[in-house]
Structure 1
Amino acid sequence: MLNLERLRTLDALARHGSVSGAAEGLHVTTSAVSQQMAKLEREVGQPLLAKYGRGVRLTDAGRLLAGHAARIISQVELAQADVEAQRGCAVGELRIGAFPTAMRGLLPDTLTGLRADHPELRVRVREMEPAESMAAVVRGDLDLALAIDWYNKRMPVPGELVRAHLLDDAADVAVPASHPLAGRTEISLAEFAEDDWVSWNEGQFCHEWLVFTLRGTGIEPRIAHIAEEHHTQLAFVEAGLGVCVTPRLGRGPVPAGVRLLPVCDTVRRHVYVVWRADADRRPSIRAAVDALRATAARIEGRAGRVG
């Protein structure tokens, strides 16, 4: 009989395309991946991998078996979900990927509530960009991912995933206190045509959104500085080195030399959570989604009172 863990290893190889990628996705060593594949080849009686340059590729038999492995693993997910649903308790391990501001703004309160309400549930969190975390959920490396898109630029969600909206997160433009517009109560993005911008890393969804949005107002953006963290971006703004868009979720204290200006046509991010459709009945998934929604409702309630 075929061993499920070895089929998981083959599935990871097919999805990641390399032994090192499969090892990282499975959180094991490359040696462990090679050993599992050698045992699986002995079980089926034919080679599943062939050398390809410095790496490996799946043989025809390997690709055939990998297709079956993916379906078997999906069926196991459904079985696990059904068993958990019958028990009705959120137990075991739940793996969540979240982008940085959600890590700060959403997860601490959410995980505290989950720990109190579901003491047998072990939650593991990893900071990741949305596209990366959604891909990890599709692969089965994560159970849930927190993701975003913007009011004028949507992020595609793979068809295997279920999506639930959590909150809308408004964003402001941060400018130095000495900026000519610093005293305004609201601004439009088109007014920053002559400013340098501090942006996220190139290739990240938020960086692509910023360039897309500024060009939509007739501005060819002058991206002068790239910084991953919002706090780093605000430090550059305070130093007079540019302006930036700064979302409110997880923002924390703003440097004294920075002014936050609301945009007249409100700039918002949509924050949502995704999970695999075949895991939809798992009580641990439902408990985490409910806890995230409760935290998001409290955040929006506080924002409403401040507004």
Structure 2
Amino acid sequence: MISFDRLRALAAVSAHGSIARAAEALHITPSGLSQQLAKLEREAGHRLLEPRGRSVRITHAGRVLAAHADRMLSELASTEADLRDLHDEVLGPLRIGGVGSAVRTLLPEALESLAAAHPRLRPTVADGEAVDLVPRLLDGQLDLLLIESWANRPLFVPEGVTLRTVVSEEVWVALSVRHPLNGRGTIDLTELKGTAWASCPPGTEPHEALVQAARAQGVEPDVRYTLTDHITQLALVEKNLTAALMPAMSHHLAPHGVHFARLRPALRRDIKAAWTTSAETPPVRACVALLGGGEEY
């Protein structure tokens, strides 16, 4: 294997033009530098230097290897600079996972501000549900989550995860304007007995919150459409095929043929930022600060 220190020695000879000047720059003796270069030739399997009067000249193979060494040294210098800056600067990767409504509504403006303030930050985003995203956070695959917690089914996270509420909002029921209860300002879930429902898949926070809210009123919900996307749910609601529980931040997605009514008893949902407490990096702190906290919808 080629030694990195010996590559550094070759790059120095290439840059300074002689063994003597390269040795001075590296703070070693010329004989010590010559020994490193001789070992590098054996490692590389090529002649790297040839005599030129009282000095040496770099061969073609030496120039090729020196060019690679220069790139490696430059990358190493950049890496070392980034590591020195990690304690204070917002840079490097920031892997975000979030539920669709939060990603769509909250993240674009925050990411725009992050990009302007911290051009060395490299955010990536994946959408999903808490049941899938939390394990990825714990495994170190994600750095920050935007996940939901419903008032009647509070989100459970393991020890070592920090939660901060970013948005707290009321949840409404979405019905078609052709539904018999259209126009009502408040609706009890018992009045929707026999109505088909659209919700996220079983095991997700929205699905389980719907089931628990209905069962608390003595109703077993008929969930016929399992769809993670609110836009698709609302498209089916407009056609009077289903009802759906819809957080306030997704109301603007509704087509004209959808009516929203408050629930009795009322139901709320929080969007929470979540991150591993031991991995609270400057990028995580910067993003959470831009997302704010406690906003009402």
TM-score class, shorter: 0.5 to 0.7
The verdict on how the C-alpha distance between 1:244 and 1:250 changes in structure 2, with shifts beyond 3 A counting, is closer
Count, aligned residues: 216
* Aligned counterparts, 1:118-267, within 5 A: 118-267=118-267
Q: Is residue 163–residue 274 contact of structure 2 (8 Å, CA) maintained in 1?
A: yes
State the TM-score, normalized to the length of structure 2. 0.68
Equivalent residue, structure 1, for 2:286: 287
CA RMSD of aligned residues (A): 2.0
Cα distance change, pair 254–284 in 1 and its aligned pair in 2 (3 A): same
The Cα offsets for residues 154-195 of structure 1, whole Å up to 9 and x where unpaired, read as 121111211111111221111111222111112222221232
User: Matched residues in 2 for 1:154 and 1:139: separation?
Assistant: 22
Question: CA-to-partner distance for each residue in 1:130-165, whole Å, 9 max, x for gaps?
Answer: 122111111111111111110011121111211111
Amino acid at match of 1:273: A
How many Å apart are 1:85 and its aligned residue? 6.0
Instruction: Check 1:89–1:199 CA distance in 2 against 1; reply closer, same or farther (3 A cut).
Output: same
Q: Distance in 1 between matches of 2:86 and 2:266?
A: 41
Q: Note the alpha carbon deviations across 1:8-55, whole angstroms, 9 max, x for none.
A: xxxxxxxxxxxxxxxxxxxxxxxxxxxxxxxxxxxxxxxxxxxxxxxx
Looking at structure 1, the residues matched to 104 and 91 of structure 2 have their Cα atoms a distance apart, in angstroms, of 25
Q: Structure 1 residues 85, 265: CA separation in 2 closer, same or farther (over 3 Å shift)?
A: farther
Taking structure 1 as the reference length, what is the TM-score of the superposition?
0.66
> Which of the two has higher C-alpha Rg?
2
Q: What is the alpha-carbon distance in structure 2 between the residues aligned to residue 202 and residue 134 of structure 1?
A: 16
Distance 1:268 1:98 in 2: 18
Equivalent residues in 2 for 1:16-165, closer than 5 Å: 86=87, 88-165=88-165
Matched AA of 1:208: E
TM-superposed CA distance for 1:226, in Å, is 2.3
Give ranges in structure 2 of 5+ residues lacking alignment.
1-82
Measured in 2, the distance between the counterparts of 1:83 and 1:130 equals 34
- 1:63 match: none
Letter in 1 for 2:291: L
CA distance in structure 1 between the partners assigned to 2:108 and 2:198 by the alignment: 28
What is the percentage of aligned positions where both structures have the same residue? 33
How far apart are the structure 2 equivalents of 1:142 and 1:97? 7
Unpaired runs of 5+ in structure 1?
Answer: 1-81
